[in-house]
Structure 1
Amino acid sequence: VDNFLTIRLLMQGKEVGSIIGKRGDNIKAIREEVNSLLK
């Protein structure tokens, strides 16, 4: 059985870059670490 957790973050555009990281490095690392789908 697949378990899903949805987390929605609301933030200003200038803050989004720190979450994504340069070249998407932060998002890639999170995706690989938790084996997740990030949109």
Structure 2
Amino acid sequence: MNISITEDNHCYENAMAERINGILKDEFYLDQTFDNETRA
């Protein structure tokens, strides 16, 4: 099984998807880790 959000060899589409993922992580703190459940 190949996992891909774009068709083969579309590096520009992948760059756009990576940028959107970065924005979502920044806006919604998706890449944040917590010390314990209370802080989460």
TM-score, normalised on structure 1?
0.36
Larger Rg: 1 or 2?
A: 2
Q: Tell me which protein shows more helix as a share of its residues.
A: 1
